[in-house]
Amino acid sequence: MAKTPRPTLASLDAHPALAETASHLFYAAALENVPAAFLKQALPLVCQALGGDYLALVKGEKGKWRVLGASGPERPLPTDLLAEVLDSDEAQLKRQWYVTPLSPHSGTGELLAAYRTWMERPEPSDAFVTTAGWLNAALAAVRERERLDQRLMRLQAILEIAARWQQTLEMAPLLEQMAATSTRLLGSERATIFLWDRAAKQLIGRPALGVQGNELRIPDSTGIVGQVIHSGQPRRVDVDVEAEQGEVDRRVDRQLKFHTKSLLCVPLRGRSGELFGAFEVINKIGGNFTDIDQEALVELAAHAAVALENTQQVEDLLHSRKQITDDAAQRVQMIGDCPAVQALRSTVRRVADTDLAVLILGENGTGKEVVAQMIHYGSRRRAEPFVAVNCAAITETLLESELFGHEKGAFTDAREMRQGKFELASKGTLFLDEIGDMSLAGQAKLLRVLEEKIVVRVGGSTNIATNARVLAATNQNLADLVRQKRFREDLYFRLNVVTLDMPPLRDRGDDIVTLAEHFLKHFCLQARRRIVKFTTAAKRRLLAHRWPGNVRELRNLMERLAYLAPDDQDKLDAPDLAFILSPASTAANALSLDAPLTDATQRFQIEYIKRHIEACRGNMTAAAERLGLHRSNLYRKMRQLEMEVDEE
């Protein structure tokens, strides 16, 4: 066997006959950026120039020889000679085979092997080594361009993912986009993202083509993905590597009706570094996954993990928001079956999912706000805010800032910018309660906003669009107020596209019992006591009572019953109701008979309000509820009675 001196890249001058081959080689290299395609053109050129019958570029990997490209009719490789050249890193000739390292001392393990049926000269040809050097240089240029191309593609794909993430708020489409992008980027047949359900010790793989629900569930100890999850390290399985192929879980293949030949899997880690899944690409087209692929997938997985975490958070938020909305919608219900309530319910159903303005009229505590909420939750705005404003409770000077917001420093107390109710309810519903109490100046501003659908914060100049649906309510006769010029006619017509009249409690017939039972059950549950029921006599007693219009009052009485009825009692009879249905007289008895009626009434009212506030331990909202009043009306009443008012 002849040994050659270490081959060097000779100049073209030394081999003028090969100059044309060299120029073709570099021309092909300039046009190609896929090494396999380049070799397909380059190897026949080299083979022909050297007068060979067969030429192969081979790579020694894990004790096997892989042919990267070849020219001429295939023949068995001289594996012993290849091994010797690999060890010696020197060109060698053996019978008709001539083998040289493609790039000596590079450690790439790539050898160029040529076979010739006849040998002109027995010693190794300098021309062969020189041509191998040119091939190496040209191939290196192609590979470098491929690397840069791949890097560019990878960066584009990552940008694509990041951009899509911003728009994709749902998990399933996001996973599908990621799988599609990585499949394209890494030249694989498939990709799957596994999310780890630690509690269930399962890996949930999506997308899983061919599996019902596009979702694959496997134990977290299974196969290569299981190993990645537990070691936190990337894993690669190459084509035909028997020992490692044994690690591929073929049960998963069977489920997916797919045959895994090669595989690359990297862990997915959250922002705080915890492992929450794995990203897997399967079957590299035309070979094995490379170090570059692994590097790309690791990079991709880092971005994917952030996107997945964010989407998960958004999904969780949307889910809990939906749950909260559903809960709230379920809690808002109009109890009762009397014809007036049935008609009301049917109108509410018809107007709910429109954007019509609705004016709700009715006495205090008849359920105007309940109806407004039913309209909101029955509309497509249900997941957006329902914002209620009591126009009577806000002083005229504050009304504008309350409704439209204010900029920082707009007035003395405006220490921070504050959004107004119109902005807060922008996609939802704005309920303007006690609209009849709004000043004429306030009405003018409200009308402008309703017409232009634009608000400007107090002290600001930016137009802020608002799409809030406005529902208004009042216990006053608005038409009368219009006649008295205390309410703008144009605003009246704008708010009053549909009118809903709330029936007073006294006109609701048997609904009184239905409502009483409903509230009693509600408060028994709240008080965590056994549920009490009315006897027939008690129901008759309830119906015989002269109820005012106010449902709130009935509700408050039922609250007292639920808390005051003895614990061991599960039936309430007529006498049990006597103490709440007969007018309280203690305060009145305590009054002397020498005061004029107006003074006595005033004293009674003061005493009565005081007792309720005491009973509620100073909680004004609760005290107002008990008194059948709105909190703001209670304050107004107290000021009128010259009582001390502790306003926050």
Q: Which of 137, 334, 513, 537 contacts ligand ATP by CB under 6 A? A: 334
Positions of E strands within 270-310: 275-284
Shortest spacing between CB 370 and ligand ATP, in angstroms:
4
**Of the candidates 205, 262, 259, 254, the residue with the CA atom closest to the CA atom of residue 229:** 205
User: Strand, coil or helix: what is 544?
Assistant: helix
Cα–Cα distance for residue pair 100/119, rounded to 1 Å: 16
Question: Of the listed pieces 147-155, 366-374, 561-569, 613-621, which binds ligand ATP according to CB under 6 A?
Answer: 366-374
Distance (Å, whole) CA 303 – CA 181:
12
Which of residues 52, 267, 367, 504 is near ligand ATP by CB under 6 A? 367
Report which DSSP code applies to 458.
B
Q: How far is the CB of 311 from ligand ATP (least distance, A)?
A: 38
- Shortest Cβ 639–ligand ATP spacing (Å): 18
Among 335, 482, 616, 643, binds ligand ATP (CB under 6 A): 335
Q: Any idea how long the chain is? A: 648
Interaction mask 461-500, ligand ATP, x per CB under 6 A: --------------x-------------------------
Distance of alpha carbon 256 from alpha carbon 211, whole angstroms: 6
Q: For ligand ATP, which is the closer residue by CB, 265 or 332?
A: 332
Binding mask 496-535 for ligand ATP (x = CB under 6 A): ----------------------------------------
H or E segment at 534?
strand 533-534
- By Cβ distance, which residue is nearest to ligand ATP? 367
DSSP string, 111-161: EEEEE-SS-S-SSPPHHHHHHHHHHHHHHHHHHHHHHHHHHHHHHHHHHHH
Contact pick of 110, 433, 437, 517 for ligand ATP (by CB under 6 A): 433
Of 39 and 624, nearer to ligand ATP (C-beta) is 624
Among 190, 555, 612, 626, binds ligand ATP (CB under 6 A): 555
**x/- binding map, residues 389-428, to ligand ATP, per CB under 6 A?**
----------------------------------------
Are 389 and 433 in contact by the 8 Å Cβ rule? The answer is yes
CA dihedral 447, 452, 455, 460 (to 10 degrees): -110
Identify the residue among 131, 366, 401, 443 touching ligand ATP (CB under 6 A).
366
Number of residues lying near ligand ATP (CB under 6 A): 17
Residue closer to ligand ATP, measured from CB, 364 or 426: 364
Residue 336 makes contact with ligand ATP by CB under 6 A? yes
Give the number of other CB atoms < 10 A from CB of residue 2: 11
- Single out the segment in contact with ligand ATP by CB under 6 A; choices: 252-260, 334-342, 568-576, 593-601: 334-342
| Listed ranges 279-287, 300-308, 391-399, 550-558: which one lies at the site for ligand ATP (CB under 6 A) | 550-558
Which helix (H) or strand (E) element contains residue 361?
strand 358-361
Q: Choose one: 60-68, 328-336, 379-387, 524-532; the region binding ligand ATP (CB under 6 A).
A: 328-336
Question: Both tokens of residue 220?
Answer: 């977290």
User: Any idea what DSSP says for residue 365?
Assistant: T
Q: Least distance to ligand ATP from the beta carbon of 366, Å? A: 5
Residue pair 135/25 in contact (Cβ under 8 Å)? The answer is: yes
**362 binds ligand ATP, rule: CB under 6 A:** yes
Longest dimension (CA), the chain: 144
First to last CA, the chain: 104
Task: Name the minimum Å distance from CB 524 to ligand ATP.
Answer: 16
Q: How far is the CB of 437 from ligand ATP (least distance, A)?
A: 11
Mask of contacts with ligand ATP, 571-600, x by CB under 6 A? ------------------------------
Nearest-CA neighbor of 432 among 491, 481, 381?
491
358-361 sheet: strands from edge to edge: 386-390, 429-433, 469-474, 358-361, 498-501
Tracing tokens 């070849």 back to the chain, one arrives at: 70
d(CA 325, CA 86): 71
Token digits of residue 380 = 């497509």
Q: Which residue from 541, 552, 612, 626 is in contact with ligand ATP, where contact means CB under 6 A?
A: 552
Partners of 69 in beta bridges:
57
For ligand ATP, the closer of residues 369 and 384 by Cβ is: 369
Cα 57–Cα 59–Cα 62 angle in degrees, nearest 5:
160
Cα 132 versus chain centre, distance: 57
- The answer to whether residues 529 and 567 touch, using CB atoms and an 8 Å cutoff, is yes
State the nearest-atom distance from the C-beta of 389 to ligand ATP, in Å: 11
Instruction: State which of residues 630, 634, 635, 638 lies at the interface with ligand ATP (CB under 6 A).
Output: 630
SS3 content of the chain, % helix, strand, coil (to 5): 50, 15, 35
CB 509 to ligand ATP: min, Å:
13
Q: Does 365 bind ligand ATP (CB under 6 A)?
A: yes
Segment interacting with ligand ATP (CB under 6 A) among 182-190, 332-340, 436-444, 488-496: 332-340
Which of 218, 551 has the CB closer to ligand ATP? Answer: 551
Tell the smallest beta-carbon distance from residue 164 to ligand ATP (Å).
45
- Residues near ligand ATP, by CB under 6 A: 334-336, 362, 364-370, 433, 475, 551-552, 555, 630
